[in-house]
Amino acid sequence: MTSTVSSPPRTVRIGSRKSQLALVQTHWVQEQLQKHFPDRRFEVHTMSTQGDKILDVALAKIGDKGLFTKELEVGMLQHETDLAVHSLKDLPTNLPEGLMLGCVTERENPADALVVHEKHKDKQLETLSPGSVVGTSSLRRLAQLRYHFPHLEFKDIRGNLNTRLAKLDEGQYDAIVLAVAGLTRLGMSDRIHQVIPPEISLHAVGQGALGIECRTDDAEILDLLKALEHRETAQRCYAERAFLNTLEGGCQVPIGVNTKIEGDRLTLTGMVASLDGKRLIKDAISGTPDQAQHLGIQLAEKLREMGAQEILDEIFEQIQRS
């Protein structure tokens, strides 16, 4: 006997980290999916990742790719979850066999932001006095800021956004650098003192966008994710990710980018800098948006010819030795 009642569509299980920012992002994705597919159930499953547990070691020294993503990926490969929501900049460019980047959502402002201690509220990056202590654990921010402001001091800072802001307010730092997107999503954009222009700090690959990862063979999920894809952001991020992948692949490297699409023209700017801030190699390339990946690869090769590989090799050695 065959049933005439069709079974309800399968419940979709969304994997997420437990941090406040991760949950805000995941709940946004859940809400968007629910809006597009009201007949389906979308559940959130939270997990801790290695990056959430190791809080006392500088990120660059751990050096492991997928620090914030691995446990979520295992969940999908074991069919405990169906998709995972990441800050795209935390998602490595090479994904495990069987998983893929299913969609890229519309980007927030991808720039970096300066947040200052109250006593410096009349200052800008350009006017902070020599020796002022700036907190960041991003090698990308460190190298670019050292290049432009060699008179400033830099100190590592870890922990979630609230922990970092508390350390700043306590006076452990004169200023810290964070992503505009993270502060905005957490409703703390009032803490943004200065949006750092791309001429000073090129942002990280994928910064400000969410990347949703899923199983390569799950056509049903891939189809649902199409509803959340933002084409222009995706094209920009494909160019950025191809650039990073050709140069290195991981996430903790002083590599920065900027992209824009104007009409039928995608422009990608990219840079690699040494940790002492003495050398900074930067160039740009343009083409049509459908050539995104090709543009990323070409720009990476151009920067290599200009000396970027020597800088990166030196940095890997330095990190391994420290």
Q: Residues 136, 194, 233, 235: which binds ligand DPM (CB under 6 A)?
A: 136
The reply to whether 202 sits near ligand DPM by the rule CB under 6 A is no
Nearer residue to ligand DPM within complex by CB, 191 or 294:
191
Kindly list the distances between the CA atom of residue 253 and the CA atoms of 3, 52, 189, 299, in Å, as whole numbers in the listed order: 57, 20, 26, 17
Mark residues 59-98: x for contact with ligand DPM by CB under 6 A, - for none.
----------------------------x-xx--------
Phi, psi angles (nearest 5°) of residue 133:
-95, 120
> Toward ligand DPM, which CB reaches closer, 204 or 280?
204
Position 267: which residue type?
T
Token pair, residue 29, equals 């994705």
Question: Which amino acid would we find at residue 294?
Answer: H
- Residue number, 182 or 296, with CB nearest to ligand DPM: 182
Q: Does 137 bind ligand DPM (CB under 6 A)?
A: yes
Cα gap 236→256, rounded to integer Å: 13
Catalytic residue, chosen from 82, 90, 174, 218, is: 90
Extract the runs of DSSP E, i.e. beta strands, from the chain: 12-17, 42-47, 83-87, 99-104, 112-116, 133-135, 153-155, 175-179, 194-195, 210-215, 255-262, 265-273, 280-287
With CA atoms as reference, report the closest residue to 292 among 247, 239, 243, 241. Answer: 239
Which lies closer to ligand DPM via its Cβ, residue 218 or residue 255?
255
Tell me if residue 50 falls in helix, strand or coil.
helix
Catalytic (active site) residue 90: yes
Give CA–CA dist 151/131, Å, rounded.
6
SS3 of residue 140 by DSSP = helix
Give the binding-site size for ligand DPM (rule: CB under 6 A): 16
Cα distance between residue 30 and residue 84, in whole Å: 11
Kindly identify the residues of this chain, within the stretch 180-199, that bind ligand DPM according to CB under 6 A.
181-182
Is 13 among the residues that bind ligand DPM (CB under 6 A)?
A: no
Shortest distance in whole angstroms from residue 147 CB to ligand DPM: 14
Q: Are the beta carbons of 242 and 173 closer than 8 angstroms?
A: no
- Say how many C-beta atoms besides its own lie within 10 A of residue 90's C-beta: 19
Q: In angstroms, rounded to a whole number, what is the distance separating the alpha carbons of residues 48 and 249?
A: 23
In the three-class reduction of DSSP (H, G, I as helix; E, B as strand; rest coil), residue 132 is classed as coil
Q: Which of 117, 140, 236, 282 binds ligand DPM (CB under 6 A)?
A: 140
Q: Which two tokens stand for residue 85?
A: 């929501």
Question: Least separation, in Å, of the C-beta of 10 and ligand DPM?
Answer: 29
* Minimum CB–partner distance for residue 273 and ligand DPM (Å): 11
Hey, is 149 helix, strand or coil? Answer: coil
For the chain, counts of helices (H) and of strands (E)? 11, 13
Contact range with ligand DPM by CB under 6 A, out of 74-82, 137-145, 273-281, 283-291: 137-145
User: Residue 70 Cβ, how far from ligand DPM at the closest point, in Å?
Assistant: 14
Q: Which listed residue (178, 268, 280, 311) binds ligand DPM by CB under 6 A?
A: 178
Q: Interface with ligand DPM by CB under 6 A: which range of 173-181, 187-195, 239-247, 263-271?
A: 173-181
Asked if residue 204 binds ligand DPM (CB under 6 A), the reply is yes
Closest contact distance (angstroms) between CB of 63 and ligand DPM is: 12
x-or-dash string of contact with ligand DPM, 241-280, rule CB under 6 A: ----------x-----------------------------
Q: Does 207 bind ligand DPM (CB under 6 A)?
A: yes
Catalytic residues: 90
Question: Which residues of this chain interact with ligand DPM, rule CB under 6 A?
Answer: 87, 89-90, 136-138, 140-141, 178-179, 181-182, 204, 207-208, 251
